[in-house]
Structure 1
Amino acid sequence: MEAALRTLPETVTRPTPTAEARPSTKPRPAPPVEVVRDDRLARWFRLHRGQLRAAALGLVSLAVFITVWQLLTVNRATFYVRFTNVPSPADVLARAILAFRNPIFGDHIWMSCRRIFYGFTLAGAVAIPLGLLMGRFRILREIVFPICEVTRPIPAIAWVPMAIMLWPTNEESIVFITFLGSFFPILINTLQGMATVDPVLVRAGRCLGAGEAALFREVFLPASLPQIFTGLTVGMGVAWVSLIAAEMISGQFGIGYFTWEAYSLVQYSDIALGMITIGVLGLASSLAIRLVGRLVMPWGAAR
């Protein structure tokens, strides 16, 4: 009996695990929402670090410029360049508040923007197709390019008397001068874009069976778009210069007429207000063109 009991396996008694020793099957709590938002915000700052730095530097430079302007005008500085009659930024700001309450000033801005839109849109609609065709067909370039080179150096002010004689109304003559100012930069840059098209792409398109229309649509136009938008940006700046010159001479409305009338009436604050308004409108127009360029050329924005 004792031998049989010895052959039985010994039962090992193990301690029953308590609740504290058992592994927890409950899910871990999610991280706080604030931490996720902080990570996204930090990532956004890292991605846009260059743009934020450029914006900050631009604001600092503008603040320094306005501060120097305020000091020179308040102290009536005179060192060959005279600031005795130049209005201070505070005077211009006070005049701007009054001007924006007056609907006539808004009418001046609206007339100038409308003229810019008509002249610039017409210039782009003519110059871009003409530049593409001139860049593609040598015979057309040899016929049109000499005429463009002769008329391109003529300034917008010199066109004012001729435009008044050509067109029945002052409004049409001003739009025509705006058209001329923006036409030549767009045309020249479109030609430059066509000259930089890789001929290997053209031969590849030919081998794939592309016709002339398909080559323009799939090869020449996409390859020339960076230069075209450069011409549009430059043309917009020249269009504003031409418009202001035309409005000062023959206009009855517009921001250029407003600035020249302020000079005639010895209203120095209005002169500075008109100049600042022209600069802001030109900047907004150029930014709009760049935005359209990024939408049309996403590959350029990706770089």
Structure 2
Amino acid sequence: MPKFPPIVAPGRTTIRILAILAAIGLWHLGSVNHLSFGLSFENVPSPVRVAAEIVDLAAGRDIWSHLLISVQRVALSFVLAAILGIAAGLVMGRYRIARDILIPYIEILRPIPAVAWIPLAILMWPTEESSILFITFLGALFPIVLNTIHGVEQTQAILVRAARSLGAREVDIFRHVVLPGALPSIATGLAIGMGVSWFSLLAGEIISGQYGIGYFTWVSYSLVQYPRIIVGMLAIGGLGTLSTWLVRRATAPLLTWQAGGR
């Protein structure tokens, strides 16, 4: 009997690359053949045209300035949201009176989409730049606050009582019991908040901005530059994915104790 080599299952990275290539292949077939089955590909540029547009834009400075401005806006807004969101979440999760006072505001404001905030933000803030930062800040804030509250509430009461029986002060309980127990949820909230901040930023840039990748994408649509629309979308997706990955990498060292205990 002839012996055949064992079938080796493809790795996860290989599967993901093949999935992306399959999507690009379907996109190419749809755009080249102008398919229209519910979704119309008649005006959708092919991957080849988009790739050529990326090469042309990369050689200039215009796209890079838009990307840099968007990254700066997200970074500043996200840092502020992380500081205030984690602090507020820890206090609200630990002290019932703080949660009863603040949670109604969060639950009322949280469902309001970023687009709905734009007219009021323009009226409230003196410049378009500050209004965009405010909208981006709100998008990141709510996931961080709610996940932090959830993490604090998941802290086992027996651990708190044990710490108190050993003479730990409230600040020590907060630092050595509550905060470590809430870190996994905080890390999740930061990752989600980063993704939502990009969504909120783009809404602000499209409607009230004059610079940024969202503005670039909208202007491309207005000028009927269809390949640039997809370039802008791909840039947004790439930046969002990269920034979320960076957040996860940054928070990973804080969770090494969790992996070691498994």
TM-score, with structure 2 as normaliser? 0.94
Number of the residue aligned with 2:4: none
| Candidates 147, 150, 161, aligned match of 2:105 | 147
Cα-to-partner distance string for 1:260-293 (whole Å, 9 max, x where unaligned): 0000000000000000000000000110011112
Separation (CA, whole Å) in 1 of partners of 2:106 and 2:148: 13
Number of the residue aligned with 1:114: 72
Asked whether the 8 Å contact 1:111–1:253 carries over to 2, the reply is yes
Number of the residue aligned with 1:127: 85
Asked whether the 8 Å contact 1:100–1:106 carries over to 2, the reply is yes
| Candidates 56, 77, 87, aligned match of 2:14 | 56
Separation (CA, whole Å) in 1 of partners of 2:61 and 2:31: 29
Identity of aligned residues (%): 46
Question: Which one has more relative contact order, counting CA pairs under 8 Å at least 6 apart?
Answer: 2
Q: Establish whether residue 223 from structure 1 lines up as the match of residue 211 from structure 2.
A: no
Number of the residue aligned with 2:115: 157
Separation (CA, whole Å) in 2 of partners of 1:273 and 1:125: 33
Q: Establish whether residue 205 from structure 1 lines up as the match of residue 163 from structure 2.
A: yes
Deviation at residue 54 of structure 1 after TM alignment: 1.5
Q: Establish whether residue 86 from structure 1 lines up as the match of residue 58 from structure 2.
A: no
Separation (CA, whole Å) in 2 of partners of 1:256 and 1:89: 21
Separation (CA, whole Å) in 2 of partners of 1:228 and 1:80: 41
Q: How many residues align?
A: 254
SS of structure 1 residue aligned to 2:11: helix
Separation (CA, whole Å) in 1 of partners of 2:97 and 2:141: 21
| Candidates 90, 105, 108, aligned match of 2:63 | 105
Relative distance call for 1:286 and 1:66 in structure 2 (3 A) is same
Number of the residue aligned with 2:196: 238
Amino acid paired to 2:56 = L
Deviation at residue 301 of structure 1 after TM alignment: 4.2
Asked whether the 8 Å contact 1:258–1:274 carries over to 2, the reply is yes
Deviation at residue 101 of structure 1 after TM alignment: 1.1
Separation (CA, whole Å) in 2 of partners of 1:54 and 1:219: 36
Q: Establish whether residue 179 from structure 1 lines up as the match of residue 137 from structure 2.
A: yes
Relative distance call for 1:77 and 1:254 in structure 2 (3 A) is same
Amino acid paired to 1:232 = L
More displaced 10-residue stretch of structure 1: 52-61 or 236-245: 52-61
Asked whether the 8 Å contact 1:294–1:301 carries over to 2, the reply is no
Separation (CA, whole Å) in 2 of partners of 1:53 and 1:204: 45
| Candidates 234, 253, 256, aligned match of 2:211 | 253
Cα-to-partner distance string for 1:202-256 (whole Å, 9 max, x where unaligned): 0111111111111111011100000011111111111000000000000010000
Rg bigger for which structure?
1
Amino acid paired to 1:205 = A
Deviation at residue 80 of structure 1 after TM alignment: 2.3
Deviation at residue 300 of structure 1 after TM alignment: 3.4
Number of the residue aligned with 2:30: 72
Cα-to-partner distance string for 1:1-55 (whole Å, 9 max, x where unaligned): xxxxxxxxxxxxxxxxxxxxxxxxxxxxxxxxxxxxxxxxxxxxxxxx99x8221
Which ranges of structure 2 fall in alignment gaps of 5 or more residues? 1-7
More displaced 10-residue stretch of structure 1: 74-83 or 293-302: 293-302
* Over 2 Å off, 4+ runs: 299-303
Number of the residue aligned with 1:39: none
Cα-to-partner distance string for 1:150-171 (whole Å, 9 max, x where unaligned): 1111110010011111111111
Amino acid paired to 1:166 = M
CA RMSD of aligned residues (A): 1.4
Number of the residue aligned with 1:13: none
SS of structure 1 residue aligned to 2:196: helix
SS of structure 1 residue aligned to 2:167: coil
SS of structure 2 residue aligned to 1:85: coil
| Candidates 226, 247, 261, aligned match of 1:268 | 226
Asked whether the 8 Å contact 1:236–1:282 carries over to 2, the reply is yes
Amino acid paired to 1:155 = P
